Structure 1
Amino acid sequence: MARVTTALLGGFLAFALAVPAPAAAGQVRAPAATSGVVRQRVNLAHFDHLFAEATVEGERVGVLRIYSEAPDYRFAIEPREGDACVDDVARGMVLLAAMPRLDPARLRQLDLLTRFVLRLQADNGYFHNFVWNDGRINREYRTSLAELNWWSLRALWGLEAALQKLPADSTTARRARQAADRLVANLKRDLPTANTATATFDGVDVPGWLPFGSGADAASTALLALVPHYQRTRDAGTRALIVRLGEGLVRMQAGDAQTFPHGAHLSWRNQWHGWGNAQAYALLRAGALLGRPDFTKSALAEVDGFYPYLLRTGMLSSFTLAKTGGRSEPRDVQRFPQIAYGISPMVLAANEAFRVTGERRYRDLAHDLARWFAGSNDVKRPMYDPATGRAYDGIVAAGRVNRNSGAESTIEALFALTVLQGTPLP
Structure 2
Amino acid sequence: MDTSRRSFLTIAATASALALLPTDAAFGAAAPFPGTPGLPLAAARGARLTNLAHLRFLLADVPVVASTTHTTYGIGARPLVRAPWTYADTDGAGGFRPVGGGTRDAVTGYWTQGAYNADDIARAAIVLLREWRATGDAQAADEARDVLRSLAFLQTTSGPNAGRVVLWQQEDGTLNPSAIPVELPDPSDSAESYWLARSVWAFGEGYAAFRDADPDFAAFLLARLHLCLDALAKESLSRAGQWVLSDGRRLPAWPIAGGADATAEAMLGLAAATDAGDARSRQALQTYGEGVAAMATDPSQGWPFGAVLPWTGSLGFWHAWGAAAPEALARGGALLRRRDWSAAAIADAGRFTPQVLASGGPHNAWAPIPAEAQIAYGAHGRVAGALAAAAVGGEGLRVLAGLAAGWFFGANTAGIPVYDPATGVTFDGVETDGRVNRNSGAESTIHGLLTMQLLDANRDVAEVATSITGLRSFSGLRVLEAEAARLSPGAVVVKPDGGAWIGEGNLSGGSFVRLAPGEWAEFDVTEAGGILHGLIWRQAADAGQATWEVFAGRKTVWSTRTPAGGTGDRGLTEADGMLVPQLLGGDLPDGPLVVRCTSRGDVRLDALVIQPRVATAVYATKTGSAVLYANGARKDQRVSPLAPGAGRAYEADGSQRGQAAQGGKVRVRGEGFTITR
TM-score normalized with structure 1 length: 0.83
Who is 1:50 aligned against?
A: 58
- Residue 136 in 1 paired to residue 136 in 2? no
Cα deviation, residue 178, structure 1: 1.6
Tell whether 2:418 aligns with 1:345. no
Partner of 1:102: 136
1:260 aligns with 2:303: yes
String of CA shifts for 1:276-327, please: whole Å, max 9, x gaps. 011111100110000000000111011110111111222332234xxxxxxx
* 1:274 is aligned to 2:274: no
Superposed displacement of residue 258, structure 1:
6.7
Does residue 417 of structure 1 match 2:452? Answer: yes
Q: How is 1:22-33 mapped onto 2 (pairs within 5 angstroms)? A: none
**Match of 1:406?**
441
CA contact (8 A) 2:240 2:253 kept: no
For 2:299, what is the secondary structure of its paired residue?
A: coil
Q: CA deviation at 1:262?
A: 1.0
Q: Which structure 2 residue ranges, 5 or more long, are not aligned? A: 12-42, 67-78, 103-111, 460-677
User: Equivalences for 1:378-389 in 2 at 5 Å?
Assistant: 378-389=413-424
**Are the aligned partners of 1:274 and 1:342 in contact in 2 as well (CA < 8 Å)?**
yes
Equivalent residue runs for 1:105-124 within 5 Å: 105-122=139-156, 123=158, 124=162
Which residue of the partner structure matches residue 26 of structure 2? none
Structure 1 300/110 Cα, relative in aligned 2: closer, same or farther at 3 Å?
Answer: same
Pairing 1:21-420 to 2, within 5 Å after superposition? 41-42=48-49, 43-57=51-65, 59-70=79-90, 71=92, 72-79=95-102, 80-99=112-131, 100-122=134-156, 123=158, 124-141=162-179, 142=183, 145-146=188-189, 147-166=191-210, 169=214, 172-191=217-236, 192-201=238-247, 203-213=248-258, 215-235=259-279, 237-256=280-299, 259-268=302-311, 269=313, 270=315, 271-315=317-361, 316-320=363-367, 330=368, 333-357=369-393, 359-420=394-455
Counterpart position of 2:541: none
* Cα contact 2:118–2:167 (8 A) shared by 1: yes
Partner of 1:324: none
Paired residue type of 2:345: A
- 1:40 and 1:220 mapped to 2: Cα distance? 32
- Structure 2 CA distance for partners of 1:397 and 1:311, relative to 1, 3 Å: closer
Of 283-292 and 149-158, deviating more is 149-158
Aligned match of 1:30: none
Structure 2 CA distance for aligned equivalents of residues 317 and 244 of structure 1: 28
Give CA-to-partner distance per residue, 1:13-55, whole Å, 9 cap, x none. Answer: xxxxxxxxxxxxxxxxxxxxxxx96656421111111112221
Residue 272 of structure 1 contacts residue 319 of structure 1 at CA under 8 Å; is this kept in 2? yes
1:244 is aligned with what amino acid?
Answer: T
Q: Please say if residues 349 and 386 of structure 2, whose CA atoms lie closer than 8 Å, have aligned partners that are also in contact.
A: yes
**How many residues of Structure 1 are paired with residues of Structure 2 in the alignment?**
381
- For the 8 Å contact 1:160–1:229, the answer to whether it is kept is yes
- Aligned-pair CA distance for 1:229: 2.5
The structure-2 alpha-carbon separation of the partners of 1:297 and 1:221, relative to structure 1 and needing over 3 Å to count, comes to same
- Whole-angstrom CA distance in 2 between matches of 1:233 and 1:184: 16
Distance 1:104 1:39, change over 3 A: closer
Distance 1:379 1:312 in 2: 16
Distance 2:411 2:271 in 1: 33
Q: Shift of residue 97 of structure 1?
A: 1.5
1:169: Cα distance to partner? 4.3
Distance verdict in 2 for CA 1:139–1:211, change over 3 Å = same
For residue 150 of structure 1, report the CA deviation from its aligned partner: 0.8
Most deviating of 273-282 and 168-177: 168-177
Q: Over aligned residues, Cα RMSD in angstroms?
A: 2.5
- Name the aligned partner's letter for residue 211 of structure 1: I
* Residue 351 of structure 1: how far off its partner (Å): 1.0
Letter in structure 2 aligned against 1:139:
P
Shift of 1:7: 8.3
Determine what percentage of the aligned residue pairs are the same residue: 31
SS for the counterpart of 2:306 is coil
Name the CA shift for 1:38/1:262 in 2 (closer, same or farther; >3 Å).
farther
Aligned-pair CA distance for 1:183:
1.3
**1:174 partner amino acid:** A
Offset of residue 350 of structure 1: 0.8
**Secondary structure in 2 matching 1:388:** coil
Preserved contact between residue 351 and residue 420 of structure 1 (Cα < 8 Å): no
Taking structure 1 as reference, are residues 289 and 246 closer, same or farther at Cα in structure 2, changes over 3 Å only? Answer: same
Contact 2:240 2:254 in 1 (8 A): yes
The 1:164–1:210 alpha-carbon spacing in structure 2 relative to 1, beyond 3 Å, is closer
Matching residue of 2:31: none
Question: Aligned with 2:255: secondary structure?
Answer: coil
Q: Over residues 347-403 of structure 1, what are the superposed CA-to-partner deviations in whole Å (9 max), with x where a residue is unaligned?
A: 00111122334x321111111000001111111111112222110111134121111
Moved more, 298-307 or 414-423: 414-423
* Higher-RCO chain (CA-CA 8 Å, sequence separation at least 6): 1
CA shift, 1:241, in A, is: 2.7
- Paired amino acid for 1:303: A
Normalising by structure 2, report the TM-score: 0.53
Tell me the distance in 2 between the aligned counterparts of 1:112 and 1:226.
Answer: 21
Give 1:180 shift.
Answer: 1.2
Q: Following TM superposition, by how much is the alpha carbon of 1:76 offset from its aligned partner in structure 2, in angstroms? A: 1.0
Aligned partner of residue 272 in structure 2, secondary structure: helix
Helix, strand or coil at the partner of 1:405: coil
Deviations 1:115-145 (A, max 9, x none): 1011111121111121111221112233661
Deviation at 1:172, TM superposition (A): 3.6
The alignment partner of 1:135 has SS state of: coil
Q: Which residue of structure 2 aligns with residue 323 of structure 1? A: none
Amino acid at match of 1:52: A
